[in-house]
Amino acid sequence: MQEKHLIADIPQKAIINKNGKVLLVRNSESHWQLPGGRLNEGENPREGIIREIREELGVDAELVAIYDVFVFQSKSGQWHYVVVWECKLLDETAPMKDLAGEATQMVWVSTKEEADRLEHDGSVMWQEYKHVLEKYFGEKYNGSTHGNTDH
């Protein structure tokens, strides 16, 4: 069997932890997800996620580390190579607002189960994001401070 190289777009998402809670956003298609967006051509990934947070939420953040990466294929057949960054808000008191008009709702959750309860009235969360939250909250409660990229 001949191997085929992955050709994918690159969404970058942020785990933003504030007081033990992680921010989730709901998009116009009623999908709950981590905030962020796609990397632009020629853009430095670190600058890209900072730009996306600023554009989407109207706040500034700093990067802590790459938390996780995963690949999935959407229903359209498009492949996505997702990079999840752990980020810290520079000013935790700054108000957040959806400047890009992409999110219809924002919510802070403190457990994966709390995130799961957001799925009602047609709202859903992709399984890949559920796995990231399960891993993150599991590590948080087990004393680990950040994830790894060994898978």
**Contact assessment for residue 63 and residue 84, using Cβ atoms and an 8 Å cutoff:** no
Model pLDDT, residue 151: 34
Q: Is 148 within a domain?
A: no
Q: Residue 99 — left, alpha, or beta (φ > 0 → left; ψ -120 to 50 → alpha)?
A: alpha
Instruction: Tell me the whole-structure pTM to 2 decimals.
Output: 0.87
Assess contact for 114 and 24: CB atoms under 8 A: no
Instruction: Report the CATH number that the domain containing residue 55 is assigned in CATH.
Output: 3.90.79.10
Spell out the per-residue pLDDT of the chain, length 151, in tens: 778 899 999 999 999 999 999 999 998 888 999 999 999 999 999 999 999 999 999 999 999 999 999 999 988 999 999 999 999 999 999 999 877 788 889 999 999 899 999 988 788 998 999 999 999 999 866 654 444 433 3
Domain of 114 in residue numbering reads as 11-92+100-141
- 30: Cα separation from own chain's centroid: 15
The number of distinct structural domains making up the chain is: 1
